[in-house]
Chains A and B, each alone.
Chain A
Amino acid sequence: MLDNIQILVQAPVITLDLVLNGLLIGAIFALAAYGMALVWGVMNIINITQGEFVILGGYVAVVMGMYGLPPLLGVPVAAILLFVLGWALYHTVIFRIVDRDLFTSVLATFGISIVLQQLMNTVFGGDVQIADAGLGTVLLMDGLVALAEIKLLAFALAAVLGATLVVFLKRSRLGQAIRATAQNARAARVLGIDTDRVYAATYGLNAAICGACGALVAMAYTIHPYLGLPYTIRSFMIVVVAGLGNLAGVIIAGLGLGAAENVAGFVLGTQFQLAFVFLLLVVVLVWRNWRLARRREYLK
């Protein structure tokens, strides 16, 4: 561990490489987390299927690549297909758990995620899959910092998608309805907003965001039917740290997590990378709660 720190001190450029690569994957985490925050904030549902949506989106890109279509086109296609899936899931299961406690939503969406994993395994097989966008690598500082173009592109797309979402929520009719429902569902209903439609749209929107993310993941990393969990738990972590309805927080936490994780993996050894993420989660929560406790409040 000390050796590893020494390397970082001696060659700061490596730290830069770690941090930059971490930021790039962090952008994808942040995007998925933004979807989760949306569903959480508007519908009061913790969506455990987040990761499976991501992987499904990845398969869209993979399948398109198989048929000779450019996988990059998979980003919008996955978003559309996943929107439909999310919408359909809302109307079969999710609508029943909107008013129930969070605990119910966690378990129910966990159940859905097992089903999705299994179906993906049956349909696409258990192989590791990738989609190849056919891009190269950008080298900086004598090749010591290497950034895959696809990751840069994914970062840029994630930023564009995030910005579009913000504008959409601020400006569009539906976006306003979603925000209104989030603030006070009852009042929204009274004012004639069809909250059921808003919920369906929100859930679909989240699935679409994840799908787009997934297409990027398939091009930049690898996918596998059972690889959704890392995205779910990190989204979770980011939302918890950033708090709900705090877009800037989600972005900062997402990017920060990506970078911190890489540095921790480097310093502690990759075997403790995930342990680090989760202990960080616990520590953040305990610390936040402890600060509240001084004012005789608590996290709830």
Chain B
Amino acid sequence: MRAPYAKFAGYLAILLVGLAAPLLFSAYQSQMAELWLFIVFALTWDLVGGQMGYNSFGNVVFLGIGMYACAAVQVGLFYEVSTYNNARGGGATVFTFDLGQYLEGLAIGLPVGAVLAAIAAAILGGLVLGMRGHYFAICTLGLGIAAGQIANGWEWIGAGSGMVPPTPPAALGDLSRFYYFLAMALAIATFLVLRWLYTTRFRLAINAIRDNEDKAESMGLKTTRIKVMAWVIAAFFLGIAGGLLGNLKRFIDPIDTAFAGATFGVWMVLMAILGGKGTLWGPVIGAAVFQVVKETTWTYLLGWQRVALGLLIVVIVVFFPQGIMGYFRERFPARFGHRVEEAARPDRAEETTG
């Protein structure tokens, strides 16, 4: 009976640390806010890539849709979006948002972004989830880049000039802290939803698809519908994450922030692999380790940090493909609910006989 209590205490500890962190280390709160969002990235990627075996390079599409949709709603409720984005003229207009407007925009913008991202996933999923293996990966890669290029040419959302989400009113207080808590709430919500989802038959279904899709289909699973549903769930949370990220970064560049396939797009995959694909905690741990390593190298290896990042990627995927959770699962299988024949374990064999 001790296990549930320990688990509960663990969750509580994480929650308390999460709540206290921005107050204790206020200087780092925007990086920590980013970390919560990275956890969402990794968790949602793993739902489709790890649990279902569909390796996507195009999840940034949903991130970018959420980001732009949220910002556009935030602006659009009070001003004409295209005038706002193309206000490069004489400086006559200054766009300001008071606290009420800012919060209302956010309260509507985030769900709109999430829903639009989910709809996009439903439509695109129907088209591309029929492909398998690397063709799926390539196709999603193409989708990601194409989306970025389209946003880069679309005047209404600022095209190549990018878009600045509404300037927060001074009454909002510390912007990074505000978004820290929102990001934390989102990460926890995503985690809990996936945790629940993984206790249902849905997990069995997506795992079956990963392990052998043909057999799963012949057993009567409606694979296409399940696959699309998984992608839609991932897109929904990524859409919210996008809305938050855009506001946290305060400037949306179509290719470098919103549809950033070469950074966020690859990182979400890496974090999931680093932590351990196909596990619940793996992506969370992977995101945390990745963010800490990334931030440290950025500080101490000026000018060489990309070499470090590149090498890190190679090392992770070449030498550590099972990830941190995978490593521990191999090392301590009993902790993961796998029964192990005691005699089969040479390191324990002596203890039991002696």
Please say whether the chains A and B touch (CB closer than 8 A). Answer: yes
Contact residues of A with B, CB < 8 Å?
Answer: 46, 93, 96-97, 100-104, 106-108, 110-119, 122, 233, 236-237, 240, 269, 271-272, 274-275, 278-279, 281-282, 285-286, 289-290, 293, 298-300
Instruction: Report yes or no: B134 in contact with A46, Cβ–Cβ below 8 A.
Output: yes
User: For residue A111, which residues in chain B have a CB less than 8 angstroms away from its CB?
Assistant: 309-314, 317
User: For residue A106, which residues in chain B have a CB less than 8 angstroms away from its CB?
Assistant: 57, 134, 137
Asked if B142 lies at the interface with its beta carbon under 8 angstroms from chain A, I say yes
Given A104-B317, A271-B152, CB of A114 within 8 Å of CB of B309: yes
**Alpha-carbon distance A106/B327, docked complex (angstroms):** 22
**Segment with Cβ contacts to A, from B14-22, B69-77, B175-183, B299-307:** B299-307
Give which listed residue, A101, A110, A233, contacts B145 with CB less than 8 A: A233
User: How would you classify the secondary structure of chain B's contact residues: helix, strand, loop or mixed?
Assistant: helix
Given A272-B153, A285-B135, CB of A114 within 8 Å of CB of B128: no
Smallest CB-CB separation from B137: which chain A residue? Answer: A103
Given A46-B134, A115-B311, CB of A285 within 8 Å of CB of B318: no
**Alpha-carbon distance A122/B302, docked complex (angstroms):** 12
Asked if B270 lies at the interface with its beta carbon under 8 angstroms from chain A, I say yes
Interface residues in B37-63 (C-beta closer than 8 Å to A): 55, 57
CB distance from A269 to the nearest CB of B (A): 7
Instruction: Report yes or no: A285 in contact with B142, Cβ–Cβ below 8 A.
Output: yes
Instruction: Report yes or no: A300 in contact with B133, Cβ–Cβ below 8 A.
Output: yes
**Alpha-carbon distance A290/B127, docked complex (angstroms):** 9
**Alpha-carbon distance A118/B312, docked complex (angstroms):** 14
Instruction: Report yes or no: A281 in contact with B149, Cβ–Cβ below 8 A.
Output: no
Asked if B269 lies at the interface with its beta carbon under 8 angstroms from chain A, I say yes
Instruction: Report yes or no: B306 in contact with A117, Cβ–Cβ below 8 A.
Output: yes
**Alpha-carbon distance A112/B135, docked complex (angstroms):** 22
Interface residues in B299-349 (C-beta closer than 8 Å to A): 303-304, 306-307, 309-314, 317-319, 321
**Alpha-carbon distance A299/B138, docked complex (angstroms):** 11
Asked if B108 lies at the interface with its beta carbon under 8 angstroms from chain A, I say no
Asked if B131 lies at the interface with its beta carbon under 8 angstroms from chain A, I say yes
Instruction: Report yes or no: A114 in contact with B134, Cβ–Cβ below 8 A.
Output: no
Instruction: Report yes or no: B143 in contact with A278, Cβ–Cβ below 8 A.
Output: yes
Instruction: Report yes or no: A118 in contact with B318, Cβ–Cβ below 8 A.
Output: no
User: For residue A101, which residues in chain B have a CB less than 8 angstroms away from its CB?
Assistant: 133-134
User: For residue A281, which residues in chain B have a CB less than 8 angstroms away from its CB?
Assistant: 138-139, 142, 146
**Alpha-carbon distance A115/B313, docked complex (angstroms):** 10
**Alpha-carbon distance A126/B120, docked complex (angstroms):** 38
Asked if B226 lies at the interface with its beta carbon under 8 angstroms from chain A, I say no
User: For residue A269, which residues in chain B have a CB less than 8 angstroms away from its CB?
Assistant: 153
CB distance from B197 to the nearest CB of A (A): 24
User: For residue A236, which residues in chain B have a CB less than 8 angstroms away from its CB?
Assistant: 138
User: For residue B313, which residues in chain A have a CB less than 8 angstroms away from its CB?
Assistant: 107-108, 110-111, 114
Instruction: Report yes or no: A282 in contact with B142, Cβ–Cβ below 8 A.
Output: yes
CB distance from B82 to the nearest CB of A (A): 17
Smallest CB-CB separation from A100: which chain B residue? Answer: B321
User: For residue B131, which residues in chain A have a CB less than 8 angstroms away from its CB?
Assistant: 285, 289, 298-300
Smallest CB-CB separation from B159: which chain A residue? Answer: A271
User: For residue A110, which residues in chain B have a CB less than 8 angstroms away from its CB?
Assistant: 266, 313
**Alpha-carbon distance A180/B306, docked complex (angstroms):** 39
CB distance from B330 to the nearest CB of A (A): 18
**Alpha-carbon distance A281/B146, docked complex (angstroms):** 10
Asked if B100 lies at the interface with its beta carbon under 8 angstroms from chain A, I say no
**Alpha-carbon distance A101/B318, docked complex (angstroms):** 11
User: For residue B152, which residues in chain A have a CB less than 8 angstroms away from its CB?
Assistant: 271, 275
Asked if B150 lies at the interface with its beta carbon under 8 angstroms from chain A, I say yes
User: For residue A118, which residues in chain B have a CB less than 8 angstroms away from its CB?
Assistant: 304, 306-307, 310
Smallest CB-CB separation from B270: which chain A residue? Answer: A107
Smallest CB-CB separation from B140: which chain A residue? Answer: A282
Instruction: Report yes or no: A286 in contact with B134, Cβ–Cβ below 8 A.
Output: no
User: For residue A117, which residues in chain B have a CB less than 8 angstroms away from its CB?
Assistant: 306
Smallest CB-CB separation from A109: which chain B residue? Answer: B314
**Alpha-carbon distance A274/B255, docked complex (angstroms):** 12
Given A104-B317, A282-B128, CB of A115 within 8 Å of CB of B149: no
Instruction: Report yes or no: A275 in contact with B150, Cβ–Cβ below 8 A.
Output: yes
Instruction: Report yes or no: A282 in contact with B146, Cβ–Cβ below 8 A.
Output: yes
User: For residue A108, which residues in chain B have a CB less than 8 angstroms away from its CB?
Assistant: 313-314, 317-318
CB distance from B320 to the nearest CB of A (A): 11
Instruction: Report yes or no: A286 in contact with B317, Cβ–Cβ below 8 A.
Output: no
Asked if B132 lies at the interface with its beta carbon under 8 angstroms from chain A, I say yes
User: For residue A240, which residues in chain B have a CB less than 8 angstroms away from its CB?
Assistant: 135, 138
| Binary A-proximity of B257-280 (CB < 8 A = 1, otherwise 0) | 000000000100110010000000
**Alpha-carbon distance A12/B90, docked complex (angstroms):** 43
Give which listed residue, B138, B149, B318, contacts A275 with CB less than 8 A: B149
Give which listed residue, B55, B127, B149, B318, contacts A103 with CB less than 8 A: B55
Q: Knowing that A97-B318, A118-B307, A275-B146 touch, tell me 6 more A-B residue pairs with CB under 8 angstroms.
A: A104-B317, A111-B314, A111-B317, A114-B307, A115-B310, A299-B135
Which of B143, B159, B318 has the largest count of A CB atoms less than 10 A from its CB? B318
Which of B142, B160, B307 has the largest count of A CB atoms less than 10 A from its CB? B142
Asked if B130 lies at the interface with its beta carbon under 8 angstroms from chain A, I say yes
**Alpha-carbon distance A111/B309, docked complex (angstroms):** 7
Smallest CB-CB separation from A104: which chain B residue? Answer: B317
8 pairs of residues in contact across A and B, judged by CB atoms under 8 Å: A93-B314, A115-B307, A115-B311, A119-B307, A240-B135, A278-B149, A285-B131, A299-B132
